[in-house]
């Protein structure tokens, strides 16, 4: 059982915003398992892959910011909502979504990420419902 899962998710956000790769990777178990169910080919294992991924993010986006919008803790699971922003070489970066974190021994043992790019000019709700329902008019 984790000591304080809410404190862990706040440490994670603080490490992201400080671009402190050591503190960030320290939030993860060595055998961490990551899944992105909407993008299954992005699944990976291990804290060293976390280090590789986020070292690249921090280097590419010196202004990367993570806002922990909401969170809820149930036993050893954290449901968290995030708003990530920054500037890449090719322009603005903005993702929002939910990450579900499993905690073991005060570290993140697994996560399921549901983050997507924010699209300001996407289809309206009516257009989305028509597309979802297969309506052709």
Q: Give the strands of the sheet with 65-74, arranged side by side.
A: 44-45, 28-35, 107-117, 91-104, 77-88, 65-74
Q: Where are the domains of the chain?
A: 5-133
Backbone angles phi, psi at 65, to 5 degrees: -135, 140
Answer CATH for 5-133 from 1.10.10.60, 3.10.450.50, 3.30.1060.10, 3.40.50.720: 3.10.450.50
pLDDT tens per residue across span 87-120:
999 999 999 999 999 999 999 999 999 999 998 8
- Please state, in angstroms and rounded to a whole number, the distance separating the CA atoms of residues 68 and 55: 20
pLDDT tens per residue across span 34-91:
999 999 999 999 999 999 999 999 999 999 999 999 999 998 999 999 999 999 999 9
E strand segments, 36-90:
44-45, 65-74, 77-88
pTM of the prediction? 0.88
pLDDT of residue 62: 96
């Amino acid at each position: 059982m984790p000591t304080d899962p809410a404190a862990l998710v706040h440490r994670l956000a603080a490490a992201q915003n400080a671009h402190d790769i050591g503190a960030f990777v320290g939030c993860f178990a060595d055998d961490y398992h990551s899944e992105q169910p909407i993008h299954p080919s992005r699944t990976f294992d291990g804290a060293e892959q976390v280090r590789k991924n986020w070292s690249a993010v921090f280097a590419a986006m010196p202004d990367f910011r993570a806002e922990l919008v909401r969170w809820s803790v149930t036993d050893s699971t954290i449901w968290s909502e995030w708003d990530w922003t920054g500037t890449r070489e090719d322009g603005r970066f903005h993702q929002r979504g939910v990450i579900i974190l499993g905690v073991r021994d005060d570290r993140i043992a697994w996560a399921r990420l549901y983050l997507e790019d924010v699209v300001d000019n996407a289809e309206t709700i009516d257009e989305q419902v028509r597309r979802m329902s297969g309506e052709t008019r």
